[in-house]
Chain A
C-alpha cells in the first residue's frame, strides 16, 4: 500500500500523534509554516495528546531526579531562537539573511557554526570599536566609553550570544549581536551612506510598551561604532531611521531597517 502524496491537511491527526515518519513530518511542518488554520488545529490537537500523556502519569524512581539534576548542573543550555517570525511589514524580504543565519544558529545541525559566527561578529565589532575609539570625539566621556566597552565585551562573549545581520534600505549592512540572557544587544553597521546634512541615523527599540530611542549613529569611514541597547523586552524590534541630528523623541521617518529580535 504505497501512500500517495496526499492533501497535507489530513496529516494533522497523525502529526499531532507523532505518527508521521521523519520525511513526511518535515514536509508537513513546511506546510504548517504557511497554513495558519492548520497550525491552529495542530495546536489544539497537541493539547489533546498532552492530556493523553498525562493520563498515563506514573511516579518515576527517585534516583531519576538526582541523575537529571546532576546532569543539568553540567549541561549547557541552548540560546533562544531568534524570533524573526514576529517581523511583519515591508522589510520581510530583507530579513532573509538574518533568518538564514538564525536557522543555522538554532538548528544545531552545524554545531561548529555558532561559535564561528559569533567569533566573526565579534571580530567585526572589535575592528569597528578600535577604529571608533581612535576617532573618539569629545562628545562622550571616557568612563561612559569604558562602561560600554565592558558591556560590549560581555555581550560578545555571552554563552548565548547570537548574531543577526541584515541589509539596510538605502545601502549598508547592520549587524546585531544579542544575548537574551543579558537582555542586551550590540548594534553595528557598515557601508551606510552619509545622511543628508543636518540629519543623522537614530537607533530605536520598538516594543509592545512603545518606542525607546537607543542613540544616534555617526558613520565614520563607512562604519558606526557599536551601540549598546540594554533592557530588551519580549517582542522588541530594532529600528533604524534618519532623524534631525539632535535626535527625535520618536521615529518620524520610514524605517531603513526593522529587525525582530
Chain B
C-alpha cells in the first residue's frame, strides 16, 4: 500500500495532534483561505479517496466522487462546527454520503438489482475475511473489528464499506431488520470503546 494514509489514523487515541490541526485548517478554509484548504486536502484526501474507492470499487468513479467531496468541503467549510464532532468525522460523513449516493444512482441500482435477484450476497466480495485480512490497514481498527461478533462485524462492514442500507444488509444476511439495526448500534459501540474514541 502507499504511505498516503491520513496521518491521524496512526496516532494513538487521545493524541490531540492531528485532529485539532485539521479542524483549525477547515475553519481557516471556511474563511476563504485557499492555502489552508490545500493543507486540508493534503491531510484528508487519502481518507476521502480511499473510502470512496472502497465503496465504489471503480477508480474512475472514485476519483470523480472524491473531487465532488473535496469541493463540497471547500464550499461548506464555514459550516463545520467543532461542537458537533471532529473535522475527520465531518469529512468522512460527507465522503460516505456522496459515495452511497453514487452507488444508489440509477445505473448502479440496476446492477445491484441483478445481484440481488441472483440471491448471492457473496457477489459483493465484501466478506469480512477480505476486509480484515487484505484491505484494512489500521492495525487497531482491524483488531477491534476482530473483537466483534460475526453479525456485528458483517452488518457494519456491509453498511459502511459496502454502502448498503440497513434493509439491504438485512436481506443480504437473512437476518431480521430489528436485529440488524441493533447489531449495528451495539457493534459500533463496542468498536468505539475498543478504539478508545471519546
Chain A interface (Cβ < 8 Å from any Cβ of B) = 1, 3, 6, 10-14, 16-21, 43-61, 64-65, 67-69, 71-73, 75-81, 83, 106, 160, 180-181
Asked if B75 contacts A75 (CB within 8 A), the reply is yes
Residues of B in contact, count (CB < 8 Å) = 85
User: Which B residue sits closest to A1, measured CB to CB?
Assistant: B177
Known: A54-B6, A69-B38, A75-B71. A64 touches B185 (CB 8 A): no
Given contacts A46-B85, A77-B75, 6 further A-B contacts (CB under 8 A): A52-B160, A55-B137, A57-B6, A83-B81, A180-B78, A181-B32
Q: Shortest CB–CB separation between residue A212 and chain B, in angstroms?
A: 22
Q: What is the bound-complex CA distance between A61 and B50, given in angstroms?
A: 11
Asked if B71 contacts A68 (CB within 8 A), the reply is yes
Residues of A within 8 A of B77 (CB): 77
B20 part of interface (Cβ distance < 8 Å): no
Partner of B50, one of A14, A56, A65: A56
Q: Mark B116-149, 1 if CB is under 8 A from A, else 0.
A: 0000000000000000000111101110000000
A-B contact pairs, 13 of them (CB 8 A): A6-B178, A12-B185, A19-B160, A19-B164, A19-B169, A47-B198, A49-B96, A55-B137, A56-B53, A56-B161, A64-B70, A75-B75, A181-B31
Asked if A57 contacts B170 (CB within 8 A), the reply is no
Interface residues in B65-102 by Cβ distance below 8 A to A read 66-67, 70-71, 74-79, 81, 84-86, 88-89, 91-93, 95-97, 100
Partner of A72, one of B31, B34, B198: B34
Asked if B160 contacts A49 (CB within 8 A), the reply is yes
Q: What is the bound-complex CA distance between A151 and B159, given in angstroms?
A: 51
Asked if A60 contacts B45 (CB within 8 A), the reply is yes
Known: A47-B197, A81-B79. A19 touches B177 (CB 8 A): no
Asked if A75 contacts B74 (CB within 8 A), the reply is yes
Q: What is the bound-complex CA distance between A13 and B46, given in angstroms?
A: 25
Residues of B within 8 A of A49 (CB): 89, 92-93, 96, 160, 188
Q: What is the bound-complex CA distance between A67 and B4, given in angstroms?
A: 18
User: Which A residue sits closest to B96, measured CB to CB?
Assistant: A18
Asked if A46 contacts B8 (CB within 8 A), the reply is no
Asked if B95 contacts A13 (CB within 8 A), the reply is no
Q: Mark B141-168, 1 if CB is under 8 A from A, else 0.
A: 1100000000000001001110111110
